[in-house]
Amino acid sequence: MTESHPRRVHGDLAASPHGEITPAQVAEDAGLRQAAIDWKQVAILSVAGCGPASVIALNLQFMGQFAGSALVLAFVLVWPGILLLVNTFAEFSKRLPTSGGLYTWNSKAWGPNVGFVYGWTFIGAYLVFSAAGFAVFGGWVEQWLQSQFGLHVPWWIFTFLALAYVCVLAYLGIAQSLHAALTLLGFEMVVLIALAVWVIIDGPKSGGGFDLTPFHVSSAGALGWGGVGLAMTYAVLSHVGIEEGATLGLEVRDPKRGIPRGLWVAAIVVPVFYVLISYAMVYGYGIGKMKAFGEDSAPLQTIAQTYWGKFGLFIVVLATVSSILAFSQTAFIAGARVLYTLGREHVLPSALARVSRRRTPVAAIAVMGVISIALGVPLAFITGPFNVWGYFGFLISIAFLVSYIFTNLGLIRYTRRAGYFHWFRHGVLGLLGSVVFLYPLYKTVWPLQDGIYGILPFVYLGWIVIGVGLMLYTRSRRPEVIARIGTSLAEGDDSIPEPHAPHAGREERPRSPKES
């Protein structure tokens, strides 16, 4: 297989007279297929990345333990935060379309040193996300075959088959991958919406009617707002993946318009889906049975069998498995593109920037596959594939809450330095977006949970410390690498000079409103 490599000048990329790597030069060296998709594929990746059906199957139980029927309220309260977050993504995408997503934006906002560490933590989160998805996919299929047909096939076989399927599609091209993701996404959403409508029409089996009880804090019981806050943590986790469409900046037609449009579609569709389905699940199970709901390892399957029987249960489980595969696939796609970007900018080995004849990031795909197996499979053998999702999901929620807060604040810093800061669109909305996520982050890490959950925040901190150490080593031994950070843009960046540039800040001219 013939592979193309980035053009090698001055090490690996051409440099400006001052030694910096300009965005235009990086764009010229880009190996991914440009203009291969449009805003609709961005929306598909972002919606499928959340895994809507898998969220209902995997997260609602934990939310019910903390908040009872007020788990619906938790989804409602998180929705403004998601809208504010997507506003931040959209504002960044208008100026900085990229395959690096949040990594590139935070590099531009906070400078290359912080960008290096952010990229290290960001790709770590995607690797864990992908690994957890493939592991729990294998577990679901194994359990389904055993419970429905009495067949016992080891979970790891399905994990490897799913990973092979995703790797092949990722190699063939982004359009092929997203067409497959659309098929899975459409199936899962249609099935769960149909079940929710059926439940609403048929009514609760335990009696009672539909009212606004799930939207009241009092429904959380003794924990009150504390229980709602813990449920909000899982509600935020349920939206992790919505940012994945932002990693398609090098492959979308008219990315400065296409990326924001696709992200806004996801910001409307996903929360509405969660509120509708979670409301139906609460009442379908029974408003007076929320303790049993929280203790039920599979409340979605219980509701499916209650209302649709065994055949309906089969369809719902199939939709859930499809959803898990879809979000694993989209996390894999996004992670591969962040790895590719980090390779191009030499934050990680430059070999990761290799592309195939089909102009797909073949080296990054291979590394994503190997690490997904290395992270997920051994832990799944030790604890079981379902516990992998429990542990990794908790870790993912911490990582992305920090990431989202940092990105919202980064929008304020970036626009102020670039000279087109708007007090409301960037300042107020960016600050509010950060505040919304502070409370669930606080409830996640304090007080510390028992057992391994109490250790996981320190695992995240340890990963950051390693990233800082690598940054300091790279800055002292290979300063030219730091100069490349944040330069992988789809189009020339017309914003601020980087802090490491020799004349940074001397010739910057604030833009007028018309120019912005």
Domains of the chain: 3-484 (1.20.1740.10)
From CA 428, how far away is CA 416, in angstroms rounded?
13
426-452 pLDDT, tens digit each? 999 999 999 988 888 887 787 777 788
Cβ(357)–Cβ(3) below 8 Å: yes
35-59 pLDDT, tens digit each? 566 788 888 878 887 888 888 988 8
264-286 pLDDT, tens digit each? 999 999 999 999 999 999 988 88
pLDDT class for 33, splitting at 50, 70, 90?
Answer: low
Average pLDDT over residues 337-353: 84
From CA 113, how far away is CA 109, in angstroms rounded?
11
Cβ(170)–Cβ(358) below 8 Å: no
Record the tokens describing residue 512, joined without a space.
């007028």
Q: Which residue has the higher pLDDT, 206 or 131?
A: 131
Weakest-pLDDT range from 29-43, 345-359, 360-374: 29-43
- The pLDDT score that the predictor gives to residue 58 is 83
- The pLDDT score that the predictor gives to residue 357 is 85
Residues with Cβ within 8 Å of residue 107, at least 6 apart in sequence:
100, 114, 115, 116, 118, 119, 485, 486
Weakest-pLDDT range from 203-212, 213-222, 289-298, 372-381: 203-212
Record the tokens describing residue 153, joined without a space.
């096939």
179-222 pLDDT, tens digit each? 777 787 788 889 999 999 999 888 776 666 667 889 988 888 87
**What is the CA 44 to chain-centroid distance, rounded?**
13
pLDDT class for 24, splitting at 50, 70, 90?
Answer: very low
From CA 287, how far away is CA 121, in angstroms rounded?
40
- Please state whether the predicted TM-score (pTM) of the whole model is above 0.75: yes
Q: Which residue has the higher pLDDT, 236 or 174?
A: 236
From CA 6, how far away is CA 13, in angstroms rounded?
7
Average pLDDT over residues 331-355: 85
Average pLDDT over residues 236-242: 87
pLDDT class for 2, splitting at 50, 70, 90?
Answer: very low
The neighbour count for residue 404, using CB atoms within 10 Å, is 27
